[in-house]
Structure 1
């Protein structure tokens, strides 16, 4: 995998070739879904028909088994035929894509990102064409991490690099929200060159962290300008990927972790997300009821990436991973309510991530993360997605990231009732 990351993925394919690839991936997925649902229905049928006190069977017998077997056999036959036909057609349409065809469709990108977030590990393990490949992108196009290619793609590249990491079920284009993009704003205000990570958020966080670490090492070697400052800006799950990459890159003695000056976490579930823990609890409950146990298989149709959100897992080793030592680390949490709404802050937070989790707090001191005074902020009256375009967030990003970048000093953060420092860190 590391060798594959020495160059980023090729630009998105356009025209009929891409459409066939999408169709082939969707056909495979439909076949797998039909087989999976048939297996669940057969297991429920077998359990309902079984005698009390006997071991619960997984399959039916007799005519019922013949019927279910026929459905599965026909599905495999048709699915295999469609996949084979599309596989033969795809190379015939391998002409280079026209520039206008390379422009990414926001709708397609959003659908693929959501699909990969939910079942991306399955797509990758089965070789499905819909599985996303990690790449650094600019304006929706993948960058080849070679000096000449970067010079051509980024003629205005500076020595200040900002890498933005999106969250679960999202993509790099979705940093653009309500006409605002933190990357573009910081490029204009602070002189950064913004690069956007695009990745399969359904893979385990540690796998994406390892791939991102390799990608950053390649970027460091190929960047066309002397690097003066590197910052990471991560939203939601992207913060876990950033921490995992810094951890694994340091263990692998990569050079790039020592060049990172700042890491900003926006709504990152450092201590996990309660919605995933609730889903896991429902799986356990369904699994304990004999007739409902087959339905638990449907409940478990979620990716390894989502499962890692249960407790904010970063590495294969379950030991807590502290904040990286060298870079300045900053955290922004959001809350749907106000400071007086303690229950809403503790349970709901921004609707997905509780405030305590976003700020790294934990009852176990060994698992707690400690942000320096003045580097943790809570934005009230804000949901998880609004962290991407709230003016208050943009202002504090300028304060944290524009120092010593050669730009003008950012204006002081205007006092506003919706923004306040975390009282636990000053």
Structure 2
């Protein structure tokens, strides 16, 4: 992202927020003022005076709010005019943002990335593979130069909501004494996998990101310097849903990369939904009941499509297309089968030592409950069938801590080592 694009995006977002805030205040004002006017208009003695005063009030108030919005629009136009000359001095290539600001932009995309995308805002995140802070073009020469040790085994890491590829470094210095150590670097060192890190707009529908990832994986494998023998997908939280969606859509499209996917890891993935999003849905529905609180409901319900998909773990377009996204706890999730050519694994965490502890059962890892990460709903129809040997529980651990935890890595390595040994033997035989 160029600095000028970030500044322009912030400007557009600021103007949009002020306009939206003005509209919310106007709607609240109108809803509150309507009550006394309607009461006075019921009395024949005060009906005509009340109607006249109401017309005058509405005209004055409407004019004030229109003026405020107009000034905001003019300010936006003036800022755009000031930015235009600066664009000529900016380099055409991407300029890496400071890490903290980069994470802040990714968090913003998580909460309103669909809005940013619809408005072509300069802060919107595009799906891309990243290496050392920069986007990687999926071209043979670029990939050869970026990954000089490119191997036949790829490990693709897909982050969760409101994060980016840098999140896989969380806790690395605390755990290993080296801020560059990740599951990817360890898998490369121990088992010979070439790690690749995806960045995407987590505010878009999971199905939209799944479709984009399926396309990116096809491009990647076709341009990779050597023939790809094995692909491992590692998804944290929403990333596990995106990986599953990509595999499902890639298989439907008959993409070539699908045949190389051997292992899919879901770390703290809400296969059956996340409780905080369910709570947000209930709050939005309750606030929408009264015209006095509808403006606040509009704000609550303005959270991104990606967040709303987490309510029940939506994977495909059919789950949400033509549905009311704000209907009260309406579950339209379709049963999407796992990719039959790959082994699937899940790692779930709880803040308590045992998942059967009441607190651990209720809050899970603070963001995803243990049954959801396990794919185990109350009703048989609301279950995801993981093989028993491919399940692992991590106690006394929170959701984000799973991004870089030695016990999680050891479990991943344990599951992969037999496959790695088999592939090494096959490679030597060839």
From the superposition, tell whether residues 60 and 157 of structure 1 become closer, same or farther in structure 2 (CA, over 3 Å).
farther
| Superposition pairs of residues 180-219 of structure 1, within 5 angstroms | 180-219=181-220
Residue matched to 1:344: 359
Residue matched to 1:5: none
Residue matched to 1:355: 370
Residue matched to 1:246: 247
Distance 1:299 1:117 in 2: 15
Residue matched to 1:46: 30
Q: Which ranges in structure 2 are unaligned for 5 or more consecutive residues?
A: 40-53, 173-180, 320-333, 425-430
Structure 1 residue 54: Cα displacement: 5.6
Distance 1:397 1:343 in 2: 28
Residue matched to 1:159: 152
Q: Render the CA deviation track for 1:283-311: whole Å, top value 9, x for unaligned.
A: 11111123122111111231110010011
SS in 1 for 2:347: strand
Structure 1 residue 49: Cα displacement: 0.8
Structure 1 residue 370: Cα displacement: 1.1
Alignment TM-score, normalising by the size of structure 2: 0.86
Q: Render the CA deviation track for 1:145-187: whole Å, top value 9, x for unaligned.
A: 1111111111111111000000000000110122241111111
Residue matched to 1:227: 228
Counting matched residue pairs gives 387
Q: Render the CA deviation track for 1:78-113: whole Å, top value 9, x for unaligned.
A: 11221243245314423557xxxx555211211111
Residue 325 (1) aligns with residue 340 (2): yes
Match of 2:4 among 1, 20, 33: 20
CA RMSD of aligned residues (A): 2.2
Q: Higher Cα Rg: structure 1 or 2?
A: 2
Q: Render the CA deviation track for 1:124-155: whole Å, top value 9, x for unaligned.
A: 11010000110011222211111111111111
SS in 2 for 1:268: coil
Contact 1:161 1:192 in 2 (8 A): yes
Which range moves more in the overlay, 144-153 or 85-94? 85-94
Residue 116 (1) aligns with residue 103 (2): no
Residue matched to 1:372: 387
From the superposition, tell whether residues 96 and 137 of structure 1 become closer, same or farther in structure 2 (CA, over 3 Å).
closer
Q: Render the CA deviation track for 1:360-408: whole Å, top value 9, x for unaligned.
A: 1123333311111210011010000111222111110101123332599
Contact 2:355 2:364 in 1 (8 A): no
Contact 1:24 1:87 in 2 (8 A): no
SS in 2 for 1:230: strand
Contact 2:350 2:397 in 1 (8 A): yes
SS in 2 for 1:265: strand
Match of 1:74 among 71, 87, 90: 71
Residue matched to 2:119: 126
From the superposition, tell whether residues 60 and 280 of structure 1 become closer, same or farther in structure 2 (CA, over 3 Å).
farther
SS in 1 for 2:389: coil
Contact 1:204 1:305 in 2 (8 A): yes
Distance 1:345 1:104 in 2: 38
